Amino acid sequence: MKQQIKKSKTPVKSKKAVVKEVTSGRVYVTATFNNTLITVTDNKGDTIAWSSAGASGFKGARKSTPFAAITAVEKVAAKAKSMGMTSAEVYIKGPGSGRDAAIRALKSAGLNITMIADVTPVPHNGTRAKKKRRV
């Protein structure tokens, strides 16, 4: 009483990577206390390339260093430049140590920075703060 299941022979179409030609875009840098995330998008907001200090091979406490942020930015900037990007608007968020290092690395990678904006979310006296840390 075995039933045989027929498998369809329709070929599965795979998406082909479309190489975009982008001359200007946006760079979003999120610098947390533990990591630095960099995302490069076009002006519409579609992601072109991204990287982080962790994806660049850093682990643990070294992930939060400015050097790790520089390494991650260089990796992303090389990919963005290969797609033709020349100028970028930079949006920085977070209190981490990779903030300033990321901007310097973008400039030294050859990207023309047209604007720098700090978009760190600041509450207008929202929720109650945690109690003061006693050491």
Q: Tell me if 22 is assigned to some domain.
A: no
Q: Across 17-111, where does the E strand assignment appear?
A: 24-31, 36-42, 47-52, 87-93
Question: In terms of pLDDT, which residue wins out, 56 or 18?
Answer: 56
Q: Tell me if 90 is assigned to some domain.
A: yes
Specify the pLDDT at position 18.
Answer: 64
Going by pLDDT thresholds of 50, 70 and 90, the confidence category of residue 116 is very high
The percent of residues in the chain predicted with pLDDT above 70, rounded, is: 89
DSSP reduced 3-state for 124? coil
Specify the pLDDT at position 14.
Answer: 73
Assess contact for 36 and 98: CB atoms under 8 A. Answer: yes
CATH of the domain at 99: 3.30.420.80
Q: What is the DSSP pairing of strand 47-52 with strand 36-42?
A: antiparallel
What spatial distance separates the first Cα and last Cα of the chain, rounded to whole Å? 73
Q: Tell me if 80 is assigned to some domain.
A: yes
Give me the number of domains the chain comprises.
1
Total-model pTM: 0.79
The model's pLDDT over 38-91, given as tens digits with 9 standing for 90+, comes to: 999 999 999 999 999 999 999 999 999 999 999 999 999 999 999 999 999 999
CA gap 41, 48 in Å, rounded = 5
Assess contact for 80 and 41: CB atoms under 8 A. Answer: no
Q: Tell me if 124 is assigned to some domain.
A: no
Containing structural domain, residue 42: 29-104
